[in-house]
Amino acid sequence: MLYEFFVIYFIIVSILAVLITIFDKISAKLNKWRIPEKVLLTISALGGSVAMLLTMFLIRHKTRKPKFMIGIPVTIALQTFLIVFVMVAV
């Protein structure tokens, strides 16, 4: 049951990460209100990092910003380590 909760959680956070990344790209093109970078990075840290990174590459958004191109892969590595650690400990 806990496993199912986490799968649903990561699906929801990943969808949110994709949507806000696309929204920010569209807003940037239209010179409209933007999603703050700390919000994007927070969604990434909460579990949307893989989806956000893939979306960034697909739509070519924030790919020149070291904060994202280093920060998100580091987040993915830390999340992977945490997942493996928890799975081994259980």
Domain ranges of the chain: 2-89
- Give pLDDT tens digits for 58-90: 999 999 999 999 999 999 999 999 989 988 987
CA distance readout (Å), 84 to 31, 50, 63, 80, 90:
42, 16, 28, 6, 10
pLDDT above 80: residue 44 = yes
If you average pLDDT over every residue of the chain, what do you get?
Answer: 95
More confident residue, 1 or 52: 52
23: tokens are 């929204």
Cα dist from 62 to 16, 26, 37, 39, 59, whole Å: 17, 12, 10, 14, 9
Predicted confidence at residue 2, as pLDDT, reads: 80
pTM to 2 decimals? Answer: 0.91
Cβ distance 76 to 53 under 8 Å? Answer: yes
